[in-house]
């Protein structure tokens, strides 16, 4: 309860945009905790009569705390009450299908979760509302029709009367009361209809509230045609509230962020109830269907229950603090203020509330390897002024404490054709300080044949003027020491990585595999290009690949932008992950196992490596808007195994190095 109390206490303090952005980058993070351990889905909270009331979809057996709880069978609705939003006491069951249900409630129906299985009966996604001096509970019967309960006494414990079936189809019924006491029924994806004055049924035919489509992909010629872009907000769980002079529509939708079906909460705003509503914005990662209400000091809060396996927990009630924030995050050019989860609150499974930055510098495109001296060496793209004209390299003996290695490399003496003018364009005071040409990018470090090797790239300026000497290069330490000095060996392929298979060594670059002699002075021909069983590339929406042999399997790793569909800007509210493919032979073809999105937020990274302590380590840097921070290096721990189905499984563990 300590974590939950902390969250609710923090809700009493008004948050401003600058504070939220600072928390996203630098502040402490807090893991969202359940309000209590009773299984519950579709959590709903309302405030009324000086207290808060909570309900949701109850399972058949509330004592079953496993992930196998049956939420398509129950006997009605249960309520909880809180005087402060932190401590919740059960009111108990307020409606029993068996004892109080009407004929239509008592019918058994097809199971939405298992259509070919036994018939089911449950009141699903109930919402509690307080209006007209009494309590109301909207409900669905297994997502196949909706209805409304009204307290006869005005008290939350009832007794209640059933006002009947309001819609013969639909799920996730919700009630919205506008100014002037006008009331509306909201169902499913966002079907809205005005209620009769006495709230005994619908006064009109429902119509779908529409929003602008998700942003089209600004990269390339393909954009989304209107016929390919459904203009509804989500798939289910629509809810309306009014704040800051706007109407806000929320709904849940499944997106393949971090490579799994994340049951996320989206929001869109409008100046008018009927819309049109703005383009969707990610409001709560893993939030699913939500309700929004005001807590202590009238701070805005939203409910959470966790429906997907990457959620911080599953099927438990929780409350998330909201901020109205206009911070422009990855993939968007502009952004008006909208309600979203506070940045420091963690709603995703993993050690995200406690993981620490390796160093407080903007570093991305990470890679590390172990060397015989007992150190792990970490490098990447040092996109920070601290690494102007400096190859970024760190080392650690425990994967927790990292020290910088002062790499010695003389650009003017080593890079072929480099001139003082080139140096000034790249690194001098008059350089384009917003560009990347001043940094050594996509660096990788390896210990091979008795010395250290670096593969790195100096990007072009893209200014239209003189391009200074640079490009991809292979560097080799002349002393056998990690600091060098390093000599320029030859021009390399961009984003090269090294793969050692027994007594053979290869260079692997974006799917191309070629022999590599670390003692030589040139790179061999292109070799062979590895293929997937689906005929696709190894990456999704980006480049960079690595190759590793794990438990006897050859595994190709690649970057993957996850969270969008073809033609959509997958970088908007998507995740930059590290995906993998496996084969029994080096030549392939390579097949993507189910759940092969192993390293969430890893982006352009490297394979997990087994350390001297037997644990498997990997890296991430958060090049998107849902990680714990943007573009700082962090170390994660993974479970890497070969399952009985002969499939490599790589899954994040909730622990620190």
pLDDT in tens, 149-185: 999 999 999 999 999 999 999 999 999 999 888 999 9
For position 639, what pLDDT does the model report?
95
What is the three-class DSSP state of 485?
coil
From residue 535, alpha-carbon distances to 372, 531, 560, 588 in Å are 39, 7, 16, 12
Write down the pLDDT at residue 330.
66
For 370-409, the DSSP string reads E-TTS-EEEEEEE-SGGGTT----EEESSSSS-EE-----
Mean pLDDT, rounded, for 197-226: 73
Burial class (CB in 10 A: 0-12, 13-18, 19+), 103: exposed
Q: Residues 367, 287: one domain?
A: no
Residue 323 pLDDT more than 90? yes
Per-residue pLDDT at 228 exceeds 90:
no
Looking at 275, 307, 327, which one is the last position of a domain?
A: 327
- Give pLDDT tens digits for 451-462: 999 999 999 987
Q: Shortest CA distance to 405 belongs to which of 320, 508, 498, 484?
A: 484
Pair type for strands 30-31 and 345-346: parallel
Q: Residue 302 and residue 642: Cα distance in Å, rounded?
A: 40
What is the structure's pLDDT at 221?
Answer: 43
pLDDT digits (tens, 9 = 90+) for 604-618: 888 999 999 999 999
Q: In this model, does residue 415 exceed pLDDT 90?
A: yes
Domain edge (last residue) among 301, 327, 353 = 327
Q: What is the band of 49 on the pLDDT scale with cuts at 50, 70, 90?
A: confident
pLDDT at 535: 86
Cβ neighbours of 216 (radius 10 Å): 16
Report the alpha-carbon angle 605-610-615, nearest 5: 110
Residue 355 lies in a domain: no
pLDDT of amino acid 559 = 87
Confidence of residue 546 (pLDDT cuts 50, 70, 90): very high
Q: For residue 14, is pLDDT > 50?
A: no
Whether the per-residue pLDDT at 12 is higher than 50: the answer is no
230 pLDDT band (50/70/90 cuts)? low
Question: Is the residue at 351 inside a domain?
Answer: no
Contacts (Cβ under 8 Å, ≥6 apart) of 556? 511, 530, 538, 545, 546, 547, 580, 581, 582, 583, 590
Regarding whether 442 and 318 lie in a shared domain, the answer is no
pLDDT at 469: 93
Residue 342 domain flag: no
On whether both 148 and 214 belong to a single domain, the answer is yes
How confident is residue 16, by pLDDT bands cut at 50, 70 and 90? very low
Question: Looking at the structure, do residues 306 and 391 belong to the same domain, yes or no?
Answer: no
**Model confidence at 635: pLDDT above 60:** yes
Q: Where are the alpha helices (DSSP H) in 465-549?
A: none
Three-class secondary structure assignment of 8-72: HHHCCCCCCHHHHHHHHHCCCCEECCCCCCCCCEEEEEEEECCEEEEEEECCCCCCCCCCCCCCC
Residue 10, pLDDT score? 31
For range 487-491, the mean pLDDT:
97
Mean pLDDT for 517-542 is 86
Work out the average pLDDT over 408-436: 93
Which pLDDT value is given to residue 4?
A: 37
Task: Indicate whether 85 and 137 sit together in one domain.
Answer: yes
pTM: 0.91
pLDDT-derived band at 1, boundaries 50, 70, 90 = very low
At residue 227, the pLDDT reads 53
Total of domains in the chain = 2
Q: Are 547 and 538 in contact (CB under 8 A)?
A: no
Q: Across the chain, what does the average pLDDT equal?
A: 89
Q: Are residues 500 and 627 in the same domain?
A: yes
Is-contact 40 56, C-beta < 8 A? yes
Residue 352 lies in a domain: no
pLDDT of residue 417: 95
Average pLDDT over residues 190-217: 88
Task: Find the radius of gyration of the CA atoms of the chain.
Answer: 28
Residue 349 lies in a domain: no
**Do 407 and 313 belong to one domain?**
no
* Distance from chain centroid for Cα 593: 20
Which pLDDT does position 568 carry in this prediction? Answer: 54
Q: What is the pLDDT of residues 116-149, one digit of tens each?
A: 999 999 999 999 999 999 999 999 999 999 999 9
My answer on whether 497 and 604 are in the same domain is yes
Asked if the structure places residue 348 within a domain, the reply is no
Q: Is residue 259 in some structural domain?
A: yes
DSSP secondary structure letter of residue 215: P
Would you state the pLDDT for residue 11?
Answer: 34
Task: Please tell me whether residues 310 and 424 are part of one structural domain.
Answer: no
Q: Mean pLDDT across the stretch 286-301? A: 94
Question: Are 75 and 150 contained in the same domain?
Answer: yes
Q: Which tens digits make up the pLDDT trace of 567-581?
A: 456 677 788 888 899
Listed residues 306, 327, 348: the one ending a domain = 327
- For the cut 50, the answer to whether the pLDDT of residue 9 exceeds it is no
Which range of residues forms the domain containing residue 443? Answer: 363-652
- Confirm whether 288 is domain-assigned: yes
Note the pLDDT of residue 226.
Answer: 53
Say yes or no to pLDDT of 497 above 70: yes
Residue 349 — φ and ψ, nearest 5°?
Answer: -60, 140
CATH number at residue 518: 2.115.10.20
SS3 524: coil
Q: Are residues 310 and 395 in the same domain?
A: no
Rounded Cα–Cα distance for residues 82 and 75 (Å):
23
Per the structure block, which two tokens stand in for 296?
A: 């202590």
Quote the pLDDT of residue 561. Answer: 82
Per-residue pLDDT averaged across 53-69, rounded? 87
pLDDT of residue 306: 94
Task: Pick left, alpha or beta for residue 648 (phi over 0 → left; psi -120 to 50 → alpha; otherwise beta).
Answer: beta
CA angle (472 as vertex; 543, 539 as ends), nearest 5: 10
Same domain as 607, residue 475: yes
Rounded CA-CA distance 194/381 in Å is: 56
């Amino acid at each position: 309860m300590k974590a939950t109390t902390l969250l609710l206490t923090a809700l009493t303090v008004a948050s401003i945009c600058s504070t939220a952005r600072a928390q996203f980058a630098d502040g402490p993070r807090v893991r969202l905790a359940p309000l209590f351990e009773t299984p519950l889905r579709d959590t709903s909270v309302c405030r009324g009569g000086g207290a808060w009331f909570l309900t949701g979809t109850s399972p058949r057996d509330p004592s079953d705390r496993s992930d196998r709880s049956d939420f398509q069978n129950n006997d009605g609705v249960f309520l909880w009450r809180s005087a402060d939003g932190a401590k919740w006491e059960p009111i108990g069951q307020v409606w029993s299908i068996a004892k109080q249900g009407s004929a239509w409630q008592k019918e058994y129906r097809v199971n939405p979760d298992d259509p070919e299985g036994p018939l089911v009966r449950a009141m699903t996604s109930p919402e509690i509302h307080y209006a007209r001096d009494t309590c109301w509970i909207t409900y669905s019967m297994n997502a196949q029709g909706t209805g409304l309960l009204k307290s006869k006494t005005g008290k939350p414990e009832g007794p209640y009367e059933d006002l009947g079936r309001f819609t013969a189809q639909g799920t996730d019924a919700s009630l919205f009361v506008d100014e002037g006491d006008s009331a509306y029924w909201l169902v499913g994806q966002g079907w809205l209809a005005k209620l009769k004055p006495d709230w005994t049924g619908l006064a009109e035919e429902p119509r779908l509230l529409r929003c602008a489509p998700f942003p089209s992909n600004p990269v390339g010629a393909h954009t989304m045609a209107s016929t390919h872009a459904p203009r509804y907000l989500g798939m289910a769980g629509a809810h309306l509230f009014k704040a800051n002079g706007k109407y806000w529509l929320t709904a849940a939708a499944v997106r393949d962020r971090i490579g799994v079906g994340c049951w996320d909460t989206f929001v869109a705003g409008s100046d008018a109830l009927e819309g049109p509503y703005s383009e969707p914005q990610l409001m709560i990662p893993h939030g699913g269907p939500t309700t929004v209400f005001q807590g202590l000091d009238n701070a805005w809060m939203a409910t959470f229950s966790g429906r997907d396996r990457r959620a911080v927990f599953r099927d438990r009630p929780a409350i998330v603090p909201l901020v109205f924030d206009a911070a422009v995050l990855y993939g968007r050019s502009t952004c008006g203020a909208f309600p979203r989860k506070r940045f420091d609150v963690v709603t995703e499974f993993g050690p995200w509330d406690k993981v620490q930055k390796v160093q407080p510098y903007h570093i991305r495109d990470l890679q590390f390897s172990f060397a015989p001296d007992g150190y792990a060496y970490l490098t990447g793209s040092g996109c920070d002024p601290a690494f102007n004209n400096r190859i970024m390299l760190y080392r650690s003996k425990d994967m927790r404490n990292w020290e910088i290695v002062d790499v010695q490399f003389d650009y003017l003496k080593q890079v072929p054709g480099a001139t003082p003018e080139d140096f000034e364009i790249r690194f001098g005071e008059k350089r384009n300080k917003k560009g990347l040409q001043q940094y050594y990018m996509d660096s990788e470090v390896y210990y091979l044949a008795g010395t250290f090797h670096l593969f790195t790239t100096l990007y072009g300026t893209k200014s239209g003027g003189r391009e200074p000497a640079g490009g991809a290069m292979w560097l080799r330490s002349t002393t056998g020491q990690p600091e060098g000095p390093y000599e320029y060996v030859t021009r390399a392929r961009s984003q090269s990585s090294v793969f050692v298979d027994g007594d053979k060594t290869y260079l692997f670059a974006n799917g191309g595999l070629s022999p590599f002699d670390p003692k030589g002075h040139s790179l061999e021909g292109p070799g062979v290009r590895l293929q997937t069983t689906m005929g696709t590339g190894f990456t999704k929406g980006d480049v960079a690949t690595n190759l590793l042999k794990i438990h006897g399997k050859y595994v190709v790793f690649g970057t993957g932008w996850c969270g969008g569909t073809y033609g959509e800007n997958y970088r908007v509210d998507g995740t930059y992950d590290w995906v993998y493919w496996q084969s029994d032979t080096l030549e392939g073809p390579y097949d993507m196992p189910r759940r092969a999105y192993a390293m969430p937020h890893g982006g352009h990274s490297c394979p997990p490596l087994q350390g001297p302590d037997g644990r498997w380590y990997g890296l991430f840097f958060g090049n998107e808007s849902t990680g714990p921070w943007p573009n700082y290096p962090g170390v994660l721990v993974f479970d890497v195994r070969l399952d009985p189905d002969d499939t490599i499984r790589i899954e994040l563990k909730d622990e620190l190095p």
